Amino acid sequence: MSENKLNKEQLLLDLLKKKFILNESAVRRAKRVEVKVDPKEIIPVLLYAKENSRYISFAHMSCVDWIEDGEFEVVYILWNPEDKINLFVKTRISRDNGVLPNIDFIWRQANTYEREIREMFGIQFEGLVGRQEFILEDWEHMPPMRRDFDTAEFVKKTYFKRPGREDAKDVREFVQERTDEELPDFAKKYSRD
């Protein structure tokens, strides 16, 4: 895609740059513009996009657990039906007790997303009204979409294995037992999983 074809995208970016403090920003490709902001900038940026830049439609909202960094990344994806551009607004908050502003007064359907993210990741949205339980029922463990929630471990503890499959063998170990190979412990993390 040539430079001048990305006119509209660049225009939007310049506008946002002038108005707000952006931590990072880029035209990702045609129809995709991305900005990263601090949590406190979320409402101003979203409102500005909706009221002044015709990003009137709320397309998606998602959360990613970056457990290594101790952070959640929340992304708001907006849609401008005239320019046909998706704007990504990303922000990061602490995994421990990060709080985000509630935005369902800007787009009512954001309420559904926020309820899900609250339930699945444990992020609180300031002022969010709505039933606590959404998808889960009587859930008493940590919010399950956090990466430290180990599904396999949970399954092992919660359910029993179907009987009759105990005779399964691991191919690598089975062949190894036929020889005198001794696999050192530090190498095992490279064995097939």
Tell whether residue 179 is a contact of other proteins (CB under 8 A).
yes
Q: Which helix (H) or strand (E) holds 116?
A: helix 110-121
Site for other proteins in 110-139 (CB under 8 A): 111-112, 131, 133-137
Closest CA to 72 of 100, 101, 39, 95: 95
Q: Which of 81, 99, 105, 142 binds other proteins (CB under 8 A)?
A: 81
Closest CA to 80 of 58, 60, 54: 54
Q: How far is the CB of 44 from other proteins (least distance, A)?
A: 19
Q: Which of 22, 107, 114, 125 binds other proteins (CB under 8 A)?
A: 107
Tell whether residue 171 is a contact of other proteins (CB under 8 A).
yes
Site for other proteins in 22-51 (CB under 8 A): 31-32
Query: How does strand 85-94 pair with strand 71-80?
Result: antiparallel
Residues 73, 63: Cα–Cα separation, whole Å: 6
Percentages of the chain per state (helix, strand, coil), in multiples of 5: 35, 25, 40
Interface contacts to other proteins, rule CB under 8 A:
31-32, 56-60, 62-65, 75, 77, 81, 84, 86, 88, 107-109, 111-112, 131, 133-137, 144-145, 147, 149, 151-152, 162, 164-165, 167-172, 174-176, 178-181, 183-184, 186-188, 190-193
